[in-house]
Structure 1
Amino acid sequence: MALHLVPRSLQYVEQVAHLGSIQAASREIGISASAIHRQIITIEEDLGELIFDRNVKGMVLTPAGRLILDLARNWRFDSAKLWTLMQANRGIEYGKIRIATMDGMVNGLALELASEISHRFPRVQTEFEITSPDRAVKGVINGDFDIAIVANPKPDVDLIYHWSKEFPLGCIAAPDHPIAAKKSITLEEFVTFPVAFQGASLPIRKLLEARHGWIFEKAVNSMVVSSVQLMKLLAVSGKYVSVTSEIDAGPEIKSGLLKFIPISDTDLFQQSIAVISNAQMPLSDVGTKIIHIAEQLLERPNNGLIS
């Protein structure tokens, strides 16, 4: 079990800042709203300044509040560093690792990584969070996750990029779909078929919108889904085609459920996958080994898919 040395008052400030209201923070952490309110008032009285602006949109951090949030984050990092050093001194491979990854990797890379961790580190408690790339990156920066495997992370001085690689986008279709026999396809031709598009929060949707936003208007028949897993199932059904990378659809491609057809448009973005951690929060020995395992899985010819 990890140490929890961040003062409760700072934990309350973090939750209110994250959720935007005392009531939401109360529901999230199971503490009465009045208790949270008292702690915030005490901090404000001691500082002689408001740390939250109260308005119709909720609780918004003031400049003083952002300094308090930075204090909470630094305190959390110091707590994590202490825990890491204690683990290292014991020389025992146990502890807790929090990993963030994406929906598209659930039945591929994430599943294999979970299996490897369970086999090699049976005394390590591992938490997998399936979330969006933006939330994963923010979580690593805030100390909520130790490791994240994400798509298209932007450069950030607060992050260490242990591994990264670009994967070309292509069309996925069932083996009996008319597209499946093609060696390549253009986006112009792609949108003449019923399409399952990724939702706005998903990384490939953002890549397509950056240069090829017209396809969402021109598609003759389309469905928008917020889950890569559902998108792949729609493609497997044979009724829809989709755009994704081989790493997202790898298990289905390998098993023969889907075909991957390269898109020939030369100005198409590629999907970047990266393994990241916090630059200010040193990883434990186990965390470093887990990153190495993830890198090995990603570097395999089948890109970390179940063999």
Structure 2
Amino acid sequence: MDERALRYFLAVVRQGSIRGAAGVLNVAASAISRQVADLEARCGLPLLERLPRGVVPTEAGKAVADHALQRAEDTRQLEDHLQQLRGLRQGAVRICCGEGFVGDLLENGLPGFAALYPQIRTRLELAGTQGVQASVGRGEADVGLAYNPVAETALRSVAVARQPLHLVMAPGHPLRDRKRIGLKSLAREAVALLSEGHGVRLLLQRVEADQRFHLVPVLETSSIDVLRRHAMAGQSITFLPAFAVAPEVKAGLLILRPLTDALLVEASAHILVRSRRRLPVPVERLLGILAEGMEAFRASPPVAEA
């Protein structure tokens, strides 16, 4: 199949419209439409389902998109290998992660990789758990760091560590002396929550649904930093894994209390890559450095009483 047609088609699938692909590729929409039409004619099947607001791939379209993505990754891997044969260690690795991983990644993950591959750039994007999974699955990120992702056949976890969800609050909060805390008992408390699509929020919603109650947030945000600051100010309690607030806990600005709900106790942090992808050597080395160096991928110890 024509390389240009595959590249254009993959962009259409990723962007959800021909117009969006045209903007990303800086190519006329009419040229992309012609390439897609030629590709459909060659396959003998419709590859896109036209909707009022864009397009989605048909089953045949998904197969072609997977093929196009594999071709693009094979080309990138070949280029990386040729650079290594020429004695060069250049290029970029693309990481997509939840905000809660950032401090740990910058302190305990990336320095080791940068020392090993000083000429390789790192591209870091932030997203909620669903966004991380989508980015890795679409081939837009080489590596994803996600909290408690749902299983997907398109992805595989190369490292997993249990990281229970904890109650997070200011040291002077009235709940500080509680020893065993179930999520339902906090339904009337002032809570701050992450927005929809984040792994923490999805986990909380599962417990709420199972036990038939609702947390009503006084603050809802996509920012973990906002959650930390709101809790430190004593305005709310919130829920995060220990690694996401490790510096604040160490400084005595926040305290943690374990939650007893089984789903929250068994939550875990994952390093994700795309299934069946042949990873370039630098990405393989990065995975090992992250798994060995980051606090998020060491099993969380019991929380000490503050």
Normalising TM by the smaller chain, what interval?
Answer: 0.7 to 0.9
- Aligned twin of 1:231: 227
From the superposition, tell whether residues 210 and 17 of structure 1 become closer, same or farther in structure 2 (CA, over 3 Å). same
- Aligned twin of 2:100: 104
- Aligned twin of 1:10: 6
Which residue identity lines up with residue 165 of structure 1 in the other structure?
A
Contact 2:96 2:126 in 1 (8 A): yes
| Structure 2 counterpart of 1:152, from 130, 148, 162 | 148
Task: Verify: 1:40 aligned to 2:39, yes or no.
Answer: no
- Aligned twin of 1:22: 18
Contact 1:201 1:226 in 2 (8 A): no
Q: Separation in 2 of the partners of 1:216 and 1:226?
A: 25
Aligned pairs (5 A) from 1:1-307: 7-90=3-86, 92-156=88-152, 158-213=154-209, 218-219=214-215, 222-266=218-262, 268-298=264-294
Q: Separation in 1 of the partners of 2:253 and 2:97?
A: 23
- Aligned twin of 1:3: none
Query: TM-score scaled to structure 1, two decimals?
Result: 0.84
Q: CA deviation at 1:48?
A: 4.4
Q: Separation in 1 of the partners of 2:272 and 2:43?
A: 36
Q: Separation in 1 of the partners of 2:215 and 2:155?
A: 38
Which residue identity lines up with residue 124 of structure 1 in the other structure?
I
Contact 1:15 1:25 in 2 (8 A): yes
**Unpaired runs of at least 5, structure 2:** 301-306
Q: Separation in 2 of the partners of 1:22 and 1:132?
A: 26
Q: CA deviation at 1:285?
A: 3.0
Q: Separation in 2 of the partners of 1:71 and 1:137?
A: 19
From the superposition, tell whether residues 181 and 93 of structure 1 become closer, same or farther in structure 2 (CA, over 3 Å). farther
Q: Separation in 1 of the partners of 2:55 and 2:104?
A: 40
SS of alignment partner, residue 250 of structure 1: helix
Q: CA deviation at 1:169?
A: 1.5
Q: CA deviation at 1:278?
A: 3.2
Q: CA deviation at 1:239?
A: 0.4
Q: Separation in 2 of the partners of 1:256 and 1:216?
A: 35
Identity across aligned pairs (percent)? 26
Q: CA deviation at 1:243?
A: 1.3
SS of alignment partner, residue 289 of structure 1: helix
From the superposition, tell whether residues 214 and 160 of structure 1 become closer, same or farther in structure 2 (CA, over 3 Å). closer
Query: TM-score scaled to structure 2, two decimals?
Result: 0.84
From the superposition, tell whether residues 169 and 252 of structure 1 become closer, same or farther in structure 2 (CA, over 3 Å). same
Contact 1:159 1:276 in 2 (8 A): yes
Q: Separation in 2 of the partners of 1:168 and 1:302?
A: 9
Q: CA deviation at 1:294?
A: 0.9
Q: CA deviation at 1:218?
A: 4.7
Give the CA RMSD over aligned residues: 2.9
